[in-house]
C-alpha cells in the first residue's frame, strides 16, 4: 500500500517534550534543594516539608511534566521499533494507564489524610 | 596494505562474507578509491559504483572502518588497517559494495525536489536578493550520496516512512527558496510523526556528511517554521 504523508501531527507533541524539559530543568533542582536542605529529618519533619501548599502544587505539576515528557519519549521509542500497529496501541495504552495512575496516585498521597 | 572487503554475490553466495586482501600500494597521495580500483584490477569480480572520482557525483559512498564516506575523497594514509570496507548500511545489497538506492530515492522524490512556481515565467530569470540566495547555502550542495541517511538509525528502522536527513535537507532547501511558492504544501508534506519527527537529533548525519553539510540544523529550521505556523 502506498504510504500516506503529512498527518498534520507531531509538532504539538514535540513542543510538549521541549516545554516539559524546561519545566523539569527548573523545578527538579528547586524541589531537590527544598528536600536536601532540610535533611536530616524525622517523620514529622518529613511531613512538614509537604505542608506548604506551593510544595504540593509544584510537586504535582513537576510529576505531570515528567509523565508527559516520559510519554513522548516512550511513544517515540515504540514508534521507532514496534511496527505492529495493534501491539503498539496496546503498549501505548499500558504506558498511559501507568503514567496517569502514577500522577493521580501522587495527588492522592499529597492531599490524602496524613 | 591490508583490507577487509564485504563480498556478496546473490547468484553464488548463500550469505555475505568478508574477504581479506593484501595490496601492494603506496598510500602517499592516494585515496581509498585508488586502492579499490587496484584491487578490482586483480579481481574483476569486486563490484562497486564510482564515477567522477573527486567527491562530486556521490556514487562511491560506502562504509569504511565503521563510518560512511566517499571512497574517492578518503585519503588512504589516514585509515587504520585492516581497512574494513562495507556497503552503506540500511539499504538492500545488490552485490558487494553496491546497494539498492531506491528506498533513499523514493523518500527524496516524496519531498518534490523541484521549484514549484505557477507565476508566468519572467523575461529573463527569477531573481533573488543576495540575502535570499544566502539562505540556500549549506542546503543546495548535497550530492545525494546517501552517507547521512544510511547513517541514521531512524531511517534504518523506518525507511518507508521517515524521509531521512538528505530528503529533509532538500525539503528545507525548497522551503527556504524565495522563488518557491509551495511553502505551505511542503510544510504540510513533512508535518508528520514519521516523516519528520522520527529525527531525534542525534546528528549522525552531520558526522557522516562528506560535504560538511548540517541536515540536523535544516531539520531544526523546518521544526521552527512548523512551530511558528502553529502557535
Q: CA B165, B171, B173, B174: dihedral to nearest 10 degrees? A: 170
d(CA B58, CA B166): 13
Give yes or no for residue A1 having a pLDDT over 70.
no
Query: Is A5's Cβ below 8 Å from some Cβ in B?
Result: yes
**Per-residue pLDDT, B230:** 87
Interface test with B, best of A3, A18, A69, A81 (most B CBs within 10 A): A3
d(CA B53, CA B45): 20
**Per-residue pLDDT, A112:** 86
Whether residue B192 and residue A5 make contact (CB cut-off 8 A), yes or no, is yes
Using a 10 angstrom Cβ sphere, with 0-12 exposed, 13-18 middle and 19 or more buried, the burial of residue B213 is buried
Residue of A nearest to B226 (CA): A11
- Please report residues of A whose CB lies closer than 8 A to that of B153: 80
**Per-residue pLDDT, A39:** 82
pTM of the predicted structure, to 2 decimals: 0.91
Say whether B205 sits in a helix, a strand or coil. Answer: helix
- Return mean pLDDT, chain A: 91
- Please report residues of A whose CB lies closer than 8 A to that of B223: 11, 14
Give yes or no for residue A4 having a pLDDT over 90.
no
Q: ipTM of the assembly? A: 0.85
- Please report residues of B whose CB lies closer than 8 A to that of A13: 193, 197
End-to-end CA distance of chain A: give it in Å, rounded: 58
Query: Is B223's Cβ below 8 Å from some Cβ in A?
Result: yes
Q: What percent of chain A has pLDDT over 70?
A: 94
| Cell triple for B4 | 577487509
Q: How confident is the model at residue A2 (pLDDT cuts 50, 70, 90)?
A: low
> Which residue positions in chain B have pLDDT lower than 50?
none
Q: How confident is the model at residue A9 (pLDDT cuts 50, 70, 90)?
A: confident
Whether residue B223 and residue A8 make contact (CB cut-off 8 A), yes or no, is no
d(CA B16, CA B94): 11
Residue of B154, B188, B195 with shortest CB distance to A80: B154
d(CA B216, CA B201): 6
What digits encode the pLDDT tens for the residues A79-106?
999 999 999 999 999 999 999 999 999 9
Q: CA A12, A17, A18, A19: dihedral to nearest 10 degrees? A: 80
Say whether B5 sits in a helix, a strand or coil. Answer: strand
Query: Is A12's Cβ below 8 Å from some Cβ in B?
Result: yes
Residue B169: name the closest of B106, B210, B218, B226 by CA. Answer: B218
Between positions 102 and 161 of B, the ones with CB within 8 A of A are 110, 153-154, 157-158, 160-161
- Please report residues of B whose CB lies closer than 8 A to that of A8: 188, 191-192
- Please report residues of B whose CB lies closer than 8 A to that of A81: 157
Cβ pair B31, B75 in contact under 8 A: yes
- Please report residues of B whose CB lies closer than 8 A to that of A3: 160-161
| Cell triple for B101 | 538506492
Interface test with B, best of A79, A82, A85, A89 (most B CBs within 10 A): A79
Amino acid at each position: 500500500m502506498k504510504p500516506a504523508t503529512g498527518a498534520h501531527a507531531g509538532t504539538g507533541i514535540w513542543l510538549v517534550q521541549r516545554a516539559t524539559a524546561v519545566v523539569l530543568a527548573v523545578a527538579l533542582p528547586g524541589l531537590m534543594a527544598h528536600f536536601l536542605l532540610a535533611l536530616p529529618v524525622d517523620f514529622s519533619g518529613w511531613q512538614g516539608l509537604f505542608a506548604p501548599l506551593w510544595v504540593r502544587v509544584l510537586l504535582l505539576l513537576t510529576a505531570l511534566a515528567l509523565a508527559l515528557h516520559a510519554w513522548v519519549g516512550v511513544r517515540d521509542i515504540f514508534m521507532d521499533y514496534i511496527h505492529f500497529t495493534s501491539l503498539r496501541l496496546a503498549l501505548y495504552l499500558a504506558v498511559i494507564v501507568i503514567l496517569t495512575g502514577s500522577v493521580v496516585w501522587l495527588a492522592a498521597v499529597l492531599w490524602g489524610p496524613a | 596494505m591490508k583490507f577487509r572487503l564485504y563480498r556478496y554475490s546473490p547468484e553464488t553466495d548463500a550469505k555475505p562474507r568478508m574477504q581479506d586482501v593484501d595490496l601492494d600500494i603506496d598510500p602517499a597521495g592516494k585515496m581509498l578509491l585508488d586502492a579499490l580500483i587496484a584491487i578490482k584490477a586483480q579481481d574483476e569480480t569486486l563490484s562497486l559504483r564510482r564515477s567522477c572520482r573527486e567527491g562530486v557525483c556521490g556514487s562511491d559512498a560506502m562504509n569504511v572502518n565503521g563510518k560512511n564516506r566517499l571512497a574517492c575523497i578518503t585519503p588512504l594514509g589516514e585509515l587504520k588497517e585492516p581497512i574494513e570496507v562495507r556497503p552503506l548500511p540500511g539499504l538492500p545489497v545488490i552485490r558487494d559494495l553496491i546497494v539498492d538506492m531506491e528506498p533513499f530515492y523514493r523518500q527524496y522524490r516524496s519531498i518534490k525536489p523541484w521549484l514549484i512556481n505557477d507565476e508566468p515565467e519572467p523575461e529573463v530569470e527569477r531573481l533573488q536578493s543576495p540575502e535570499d540566495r544566502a539562505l540556500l547555502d549549506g542546503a543546495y550542495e548535497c550530492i545525494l550520496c546517501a552517507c547521512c541517511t544510511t547513517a541514521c538509525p531512524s531511517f534504518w528502522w523506518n525507511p518507508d516512512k521517515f524521509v531521512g536527513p538528505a530528503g529533509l535537507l532538500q525539503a528545507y532547501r525548497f522551503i527556504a527558496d524565495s522563488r518557491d511558492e509551495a511553502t505551505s504544501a511542503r510544510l504540510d508534506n513533512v508535518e508528520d510523526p514519521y516523516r519528520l519527527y522520527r529525527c531525534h537529533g542525534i546528528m549522525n548525519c552531520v558526522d557522516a556528511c562528506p560535504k560538511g553539510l548540517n541536515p540536523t540544523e535544516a531539520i531544526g529550521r523546518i521544526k521552527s517554521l512548523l512551530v511558528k505556523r502553529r502557535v
